[in-house]
Amino acid sequence: MKKEMICIVCPVGCHLEIDENLKVQNNKCKRGEVYAKKEILNPTRMLTSTVRINSKHQARVSVKTTDAIPKQSMFKIMEMLDDVALEVPVNLGDVVIKNVLDTGIDIVVTMSLKA
Amino acid sequence: MYDVVVIGGGAAGLAAIHSAYDPTLKLLLIEREKTLGGILKQCIHNGFGLHHYKEELTGPEYAERGILSVKDLSFETMLDTTVADVEKKSDIFHITIMNTELGEAVIQAKTVILSTGCYERTRGAIQLPGTRPKGIMPAGSAQRYLNIDGYLVGKKVFILGSGDIGLIMARRMRLEGAEVLGVAEIMPYSNGLTRNIVQCLHDFDIPLYLSHTITDIKGIETLEAITISEVDTHFQPIAGTEKTFEVDTLLLSVGLIPDIKMFDSLKFDVSSLTNGAIVDQRYQTSIPGLFACGNALHVHDLVDFVTEESEKAGRFAKDYVLKTKAEKRQLITIDPGDKVRYVLPQYLDITQNFDETVLSLRATESALRGTFNIHQGETLIHSKKARFVAPAEMERLVLKRSDLVSEAPLKVSFEVGT
Ligand SMILES: Cc1cc2nc3c(=O)[nH]c(=O)nc-3n(C[C@H](O)[C@H](O)[C@H](O)COP(=O)(O)OP(=O)(O)OC[C@H]3O[C@@H](n4cnc5c(N)ncnc54)[C@H](O)[C@@H]3O)c2cc1C
Ligand code: SF4
C-alpha cells in the first residue's frame, strides 16, 4: 500500500509517496526521503498544552514537551496532563512530568506566574 | 509630562519601550490587561522566535523573553489600564486613561507609540447567511477561553478559514477532546503554513474543504448545524454541492485588522490597504511625534518581525524627543505596483539621514520563483529574486539611500518567473 504525504522540510512542499518497502517517490531532494521514512517508522511531534493552576489571573498555565515525543503518545500524554494541578508560583522551565512515558523527555512549564 | 508613552504591552510595545529607553527620559508603558505579553500568552504552540532568538519558542516563552529584556530598565508601567482616547493639542498628546485606581485620568506626552495589536474579524464583517445562534465566535477568542481560562467552547466544531489561527485551533480543540468536523476555505489554496496543514489537520484526519464557503446556519438559541458549498471561480456557491454538519461551534478565522479605533480623534492618515496608519521609514504617522508598530500598524505573520520593526519605532521615537530643533518633512511616496498588495512604509522622508531601510510588503500571487522590483519614476533602482512567495507571507526588501536617483515616487512590483 502506498502512502501519500507532504514534505514539510522546506517550502517546496513535495507531495511524496512511500510504499511498504519504504521506497520514496516524488521527492525533489534526499531530505524528503529521510522525512518520509521517519514519518513511517518513528513519527514524532512537539506537544504543547496547558494544565490547571491556582493563579488569580488565569485558570491554566501553558506547558510543552522538551523534545518531540512519539506521535501516537499525544493523546495519552494529554490524559496525564488532566491530572496535573499546579500551584503558584511557577517558573518557566519548571518540570511538570519527568521522563514522560519513559521517553527521556520532560514536560515543562512555558510561562512564569507569581503567587 | 512623559517623553514617550507606549500604548499596548505585547511583543511590539515591549520592543518599542526597550529601544526608546534612555536614562534621561521619562517613559510610560500602558497595558489594558493585568500582565504584559499580549496575544503571545494565548499562543501556546511552538514556532516563535526562529529569526530573532535563533531557537524555536512557544508564544508565552517569547513573551517572557521580551518582559525580561526590559526588567532592569527604569520606566513606569500601568497595567490593567485602558487608553480610551488620545488628542494632540499644541504639540502635546493628551491621553485619556481608565483604571480602577484612578478612574478616568488624562496624562500628557511628547511622543506616543501605538502598539495596540489587532482584532479579529467577526461574523458581521463577512456576512454569514442563516440564523444568529450562540456558538459562533472568532478562533482567537476560543483560543483565549481554552488556553488561559481553561474553558472548551464546544464539543463538535467546524472552522471557517484556513489561516494559521484556524489550523492551530483545529488541533488544539481535537487534542482537548472536541470533534473537529472540518475546515472550509473559500480560496482554492490555504493561507496557512504547510507545516500546520500537515501537523494540525492531516495528523488528526481533519478534512480541509478548499473553494468552499458556508451557505447556511441552523439553530435558534444555540448552533445546530452548518452547511457548506463549493464555490466557482467567482466565489459563487454551486448548487448541488451542499454538505451539512451537525455542530455546536463554528470558529471564524477570517482575518485580523489593526486595532486603532480608539485613536479616531487623532485623525492620522490610515491606509485602506493595511487598515493601519500610513507611516514613513521611521514609523512616524502623518502626525509628528505619533509612531505605530506591530499588528497595530499592519498584521504580521511572524512575531520576530514585530520585534524588529518595533525596536526601530522605539529608537526613532527616542531620537524625536531628544532632537532639539523642529523638523520639516519631505516625503516621497512608496506605492504598491503590479502584483503587490501593500508596501510599508508608505513614505520615505528624504530629509532624514539613513543608510538603508526595510520595506515590508505582500505579493498578491503565489509563485515558486519571482523578482521584486523597485522603480523610482521610470528607473529600476533595485531588484531582488525571491523563492516561495505567497500572499500570506510578508516579504522584505532592503532599500539603500544610495539606490535613490531622484525625488520621484517609488513603486514596488512583483514579477512571477525567473
Ligand atoms: C493566534 C495567533 C497565532 C500566531 N502564531 C504565530 C506563530 O506561530 N509564529 C509567529 O512568529 N507569530 C505568530 N503570530 C503573530 C504574532 O504573535 C503577533 O503578530 C505578535 O505577537 C503581535 O504583537 P503586538 O504587540 O503587535 O500585538 P499584541 O500582542 O496583540 O499586543 C497588543 C497589546 O495592546 C494592548 N492594548 C490594546 N488596546 C489597548 C488600549 N486601548 N489600552 C491599553 N492597552 C491596549 C492589548 O491588551 C495587548 O496586550 C500569531 C498571532 C496570532 C493572533
Ligand atoms: S523533498 Fe526536498 S525539495 Fe521537496 S519539500 Fe522535501 S526538502 Fe523540500
- pLDDT, position B270: 97
* Ordered domains of chain A (ranges, CATH): 3-41 (no CATH), 45-109 (3.10.530.10)
What are phi and psi for residue B133, nearest 5 degrees? -75, 170
Distance from the Cα of A21 to chain B's closest Cα (Å) equals 22
Q: Please identify every stretch of chain A with a pLDDT value under 50, giving residue numbers as ranges.
A: none
- pLDDT, position B262: 87
Distance CA B74, CA B84 (A): 25
- If you count them, how many residues does chain A have? 115
In percent, the amount of chain B with pLDDT more than 70 equals 99
Distance CA A10, CA A34 (A): 13
Query: For the domain that residue B356 is a member of, what is the CATH number?
Result: 2.60.40
Query: For the domain that residue B116 is a member of, what is the CATH number?
Result: 3.50.50.60
Q: What is the 3-state secondary structure (H, E, C) of A2-23?
A: CEEEECCCCCCCCEEEECCCCC
Gap between the terminal Cα atoms of chain A: 55
- Give the pLDDT confidence of B377-387 residue by residue, as tens digits: 999 999 999 99
B50 contacts chain A (CB < 8 A): no
Q: How many CA atoms lie within 13 A of A7 on its CB side?
A: 24
Last residue of a domain, one of B308, B327, B346: B327
Last residue of a domain, one of B197, B221, B254: B254
Distance from the Cα of A99 to chain B's closest Cα (Å) equals 20
Which residues form the domain of B375?
329-418
- pLDDT, position B322: 93
- pLDDT, position B203: 96
Interface of B with A in 247-266 (CB under 8 A): none
Distance CA B413, CA B400 (A): 17
Q: How many CA atoms lie within 13 A of A45 on its CB side?
A: 22
One domain for residues B147 and B225: yes
DSSP result, A47-109 = -EEEEEE--SS-SEEEEEESSPEEGGGHHHHHHHHHT-EE-S-B-TT-EEESSGGGSS--EEE
Alpha-carbon distances, residue A43 vs A19, A78, B224, B225, B237 (angstroms)? 16, 17, 37, 35, 39
Distance CA B185, CA B168 (A): 15
Task: Answer yes or no: are the C-beta atoms of B389 and B370 closer than 8 Å.
Answer: yes
B89 contacts chain A (CB < 8 A): no
Mean pLDDT of chain B: 95
Mean pLDDT of chain A: 95
Q: Which residues of A touch B164 (CB under 8 A)?
A: none
A22 contacts chain B (CB < 8 A): no
A45–B199: do the CB atoms touch at under 8 Å?
A: yes
- pLDDT, position B92: 95
Only one residue has cell 529601544, namely B19
Last residue of a domain, one of B311, B327, B343: B327
One domain for residues B111 and B157: no
One domain for residues B36 and B70: yes
One domain for residues B354 and B260: no
- pLDDT, position B418: 67
- Give the pLDDT confidence of B303-349 residue by residue, as tens digits: 999 999 999 999 999 999 998 777 788 999 999 999 999 999 999 99
- pLDDT, position B328: 86
One domain for residues B260 and B116: yes
One domain for residues B111 and B80: yes
A58 contacts chain B (CB < 8 A): yes
B148–A59: do the CB atoms touch at under 8 Å?
A: yes
A93 contacts chain B (CB < 8 A): no
One domain for residues B137 and B46: no
- pLDDT, position B42: 97
One domain for residues B280 and B157: no
Q: Which residues of A touch B147 (CB under 8 A)?
A: 50, 60, 62
Distance CA B405, CA A36 (A): 51
Looking at the structure of chain B, the number of domains it has is 3
One domain for residues B340 and B226: no
Query: Any residues with CB less than 8 A from the CB of B19 and at least 6 apart, and which?
Result: B310, B311, B312, B314, B315, B318
Ligand 2 centre to CA of A28 (Å) is 5
Q: Residue A2 CB: number of other CB atoms within 10 A?
A: 9
Q: Which residues of B touch A59 (CB under 8 A)?
A: 148-151
One domain for residues B209 and B137: yes
Only one residue has cell 515525543, namely A69
- pLDDT, position B292: 98
pLDDT band, very low/low/confident/very high, at B268 (cuts 50, 70, 90): very high
- Give the pLDDT confidence of B111-170 residue by residue, as tens digits: 999 999 999 988 776 778 888 889 999 999 999 999 999 999 999 999 999 999 999 999
One domain for residues B321 and B350: no
DSSP result, A94-106 = -EEESSGGGSS--
Query: Any residues with CB less than 8 A from the CB of B396 and at least 6 apart, and which?
Result: B305, B358, B359, B360, B361
Task: Answer yes or no: are the C-beta atoms of A27 and A16 closer than 8 Å.
Answer: yes
Q: Whose CA is nearest to atom 8 of ligand 2?
A: A10
One domain for residues B322 and B348: no
Which of B43, B147, B164, B208 to probe by mutation at the A interface, max A CB count within 10 Å?
B147
Ligand 2 centre to CA of A73 (Å) is 27
